[in-house]
């Protein structure tokens, strides 16, 4: 059970990019502590700028830096299943060719799906199952129905260097995904709490809703530019139900630190 979050902002949006990223991370911090990472893009960046490390969220929170020109963000905390976190390439955000993405869930047919692609598992000992999602996105040019080939559970988001200004997100089955819409911004997260924390610290009023299973979204400049439906795998069942809280104490620690950061900046 991992945690994902992020945003798409209009270039005219006045939200503090770094503080918004820190708020989202604090809101999902208790969903995993095996690794943490984020990626941003916007302005002059053609490629997403990626930072990740093998620590809990609390050891990255103070180090997050997102420039004012950034318009897209991905944030991830990891509770790993496949792909040991000692291999940096297994930690999120994960790259496949032009696509960089984050994932909460389990893909069980990843080796089969990745077999045809010579660029798969590009880094030594890389085995993370999430790469299959981003391979399908890359080789289909972000076609929603390509996700129907996946077997397993999924909530995911990604950036494609060929599609500047656009953030893609999708929910299959078995994992939550929430959307918070403002006037010039859209936030997404694994839980509603993260959106509430982001709203509190950015001062943005959000209309919050849960994304339906089998929904594909293209977010651009703080708006939903495209919505599409796909048929997710409904045959997969997990052997046991995973609790949402995987790193007790991380959320409280990060929220306390976030409050201190915000007070200092005020």
Rounded mean pLDDT, 86-107: 97
Whole-structure pTM value: 0.96
Name beta bridge partners: 51.
38
Mean pLDDT for the stretch of residues 66-84: 96
200-227 mean pLDDT: 98
What is the arithmetic mean of pLDDT over 91-106?
97
Give pLDDT tens digits for 7-41. 999 999 999 999 999 999 999 999 999 999 999 99
Range in 37-46, 88-97, 204-213 with the lowest mean pLDDT: 37-46
pLDDT tens for 189-209 read 999 999 999 999 999 999 999
Measuring CA to CA, which residue among 220, 203, 178 is closest to residue 27? 178
pLDDT of residue 186: 98
Span 120-151, pLDDT tens digits: 998 889 999 999 999 999 999 999 999 999 99
CATH number at residue 185: 3.60.20.10
The pLDDT, as a whole number, for residue 237 is: 79
Q: Which residues contact 251 (CB under 8 A, 6 or more apart)?
A: 26, 27, 29, 30, 245
83 pLDDT band, cuts 50/70/90, is very high
Average pLDDT over residues 48-53: 97
Say what the pLDDT of residue 157 is: 99
Mean pLDDT of the chain: 95
Average pLDDT over residues 157-171: 97
**Under a CB-based contact definition with an 8 Å cutoff, are residues 43 and 163 in contact?**
no
Provide the token pair at 205: 């009023």
pLDDT for residue 212: 98
Q: Give the residue among 76, 89, 131, 136 at the shortest CA–CA distance from 107.
A: 131
CA 184 to chain centre: 20
pLDDT given at position 242: 66
Distances 134 to 8, 204, 214 between C-alpha atoms, Å: 19, 31, 16
Q: φ, ψ for residue 224 (rounded to 5)?
A: -80, 105
Q: Which residue has the higher pLDDT, 115 or 44?
A: 115
Q: How confident is the model at residue 5 (pLDDT cuts 50, 70, 90)?
A: very high
Alpha carbon of 170 to those of 25, 41, 77, 198: distances in Å? 19, 19, 18, 21
**pLDDT computed for residue 78 by the predictor:** 97
Find the farthest-apart pair of alpha carbons in the chain and give their distance in angstroms, rounded.
Answer: 53
Q: How many CB atoms lie within 10 A of CB 140?
A: 13
DSSP type of residue 28: H
Query: DSSP of 192-235, one letter per residue?
Result: HHHHHHHHHHHT---EEEEPPTTEEEEEETTEEEEEEE-----S
H/E element holding 23? helix 17-28
First vs last Cα of the chain: how many Å apart? Answer: 35
95 CB burial (10 A radius; 0-12, 13-18, 19+): buried
Beta bridge partners of 4: 76
Q: Report how far residue 218's alpha carbon sits from residue 23's, in angstroms, rounded to the nearest whole number.
A: 23
Query: How many domains is the chain built from?
Result: 1
Domain with 202, as residue range(s), is 3-265
Please give the average per-residue pLDDT across 199-224, as a whole number: 98
pLDDT at 54 over 70: yes
- Work out the average pLDDT over 86-93: 97
Mean pLDDT throughout 73-98?
A: 96
Q: Are the C-beta atoms of residues 40 and 49 closer than 8 Å to each other?
A: yes
């Amino acid at each position: 059970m991992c945690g994902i979050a992020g945003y798409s902002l209009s270039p005219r949006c006045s939200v503090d990019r770094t503080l918004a990223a820190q708020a989202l991370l604090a809101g999902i911090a208790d969903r995993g502590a095996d690794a943490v990472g984020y990626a941003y893009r916007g302005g002059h960046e053609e490629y997403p700028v990626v930072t990740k490390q093998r620590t809990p969220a609390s050891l990255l929170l103070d180090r997050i830096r997102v420039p004012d020109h950034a318009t897209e963000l991905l944030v991830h905390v990891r509770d790993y299943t496949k792909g040991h976190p000692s291999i940096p390439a297994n930690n999120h955000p994960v790259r496949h060719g032009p696509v960089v993405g984050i994932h909460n869930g389990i893909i069980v047919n990843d080796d089969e799906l990745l077999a045809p692609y010579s660029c798969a598992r590009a880094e030594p000992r890389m085995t993370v199952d999430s790469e299959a999602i981003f391979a399908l996105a890359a080789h289909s040019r972000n076609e929603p129905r390509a996700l129907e080939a996946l077997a397993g559970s999924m909530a995911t988001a990604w950036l494609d260097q060929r599609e500047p200004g656009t953030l893609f997100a999708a929910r299959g089955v078995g994992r939550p995904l929430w959307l918070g819409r403002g006037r010039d911004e859209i936030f997404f997260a694994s839980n509603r709490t993260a959106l509430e924390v982001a709203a509190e610290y950015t001062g943005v009023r959000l209309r919050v809703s849960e994304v339906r299973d089998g929904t594909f979204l293209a977010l651009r400049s703080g708006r939903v530019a495209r919505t599409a439906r796909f048929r997710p795998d409904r045959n997969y069942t997990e052997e046991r139900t995973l609790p949402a809280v995987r790193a007790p104490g991380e959320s409280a620690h990060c929220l306390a630190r976030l409050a201190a950061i915000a007070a200092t900046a005020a």
